[in-house]
Amino acid sequence: MSKLTYEKRDRIAYVTINRPEARNAIDPDVHRLMVEAWTDFRDDDSVDVAILTGAGDAFCAGADLKTYIPPIIGNAGPSRIREIVELGLNGFTRGMHRIGKPIIGAINGWALAGGLETALACDIRVASERAMFGSFEARRGFHHGDGGIVRLVNTCGVGVAMQMLLTAEPIDAQRALACNMVTKVVPHERLMEEAELTASHILRNSQSAVRSAKQTILDVIGQPLDFQLRTEAWNAYTCADPEETKDLLERFYDKSDAGRAGAHETEL
């Protein structure tokens, strides 16, 4: 059985880490398969959104401490280190993090160490009530190196990052929600339904606008205000396709656009 499943349905790519016996820890095979999956997702025009989750009771327990970490710590040469720096864990924590299409994390259980980094690399995170989040690297003699510190600070702030990284103690789903680490916590059995609903909300929109918005968010993080404002304006006023916008406006005018609320409610 493959250690990663990759399926496509209705413009959604489903990526599932499939090592439940190891809490979906990332070994070299999973890393390679993830890189292949994200490359295909990036290049396939038939899919516009991805949902990433884990099989069984865990989302991802991080890099496999028996097969992934020891070769790097023990005898990785300069070329291997350069490869790691360029690509990151699972390909999209670094290297392919600029994929323009949205990636939704359906966090079904433990997101630990590199699994936390993988979750944070998703654009939107929906969590099961059973989800747990932790950064235990300091217990093993190192710390995050694949975006965990950067994204934790950017997403949750310095205080949360300090607490999680320096104590190496986990937080539960409700604490993660309060920290803005996840956007929603739902009953476990409804997790994929909620992730697919989020995907549906994205899919009703102009994908040109969605991808430009994602690009703009990534571009302006940490930049001076004037640069942020100019980048936002430039991207906003250049992303629209005139014909698509005209069509979407017509749907708004005749009250037929998907997902309307209020007196003129429509289905997604």
Active site residues: 117, 137
Convert the chain into a string of H (helix), E (strand) and C (coil): CCCEEEEEECCEEEEEECCHHHCCCECHHHHHHHHHHHHHHHHCCCCCEEEEEECCCEEECCECCCCCHHHHHHHCCHHHHHHHHHHCCCCCCCCCCCCCCCEEEEECCEEECHHHHHHHHCCEEEEECCCEEECCHHHHCCCCCCCHHHHHHHHHCHHHHHHHHHHCCCEEHHHHHHCCCCCEEECHHHHHHHHHHHHHHHHCCCHHHHHHHHHHHHHHCCCCHHHHHHHHHHHHHHCCCHHHHHHHHHHHHCCCCCCCCHHHCCCC
Alpha-carbon torsion 46, 52, 54, 60, what sign?
positive
* CA atoms of 10 and 200, how far apart (whole Å): 10
* CA atoms of 41 and 87, how far apart (whole Å): 16
Type of residue at 144 = H
Other Cβ atoms less than 10 A from the Cβ of 142: the count is 12
Type of residue at 77 = G
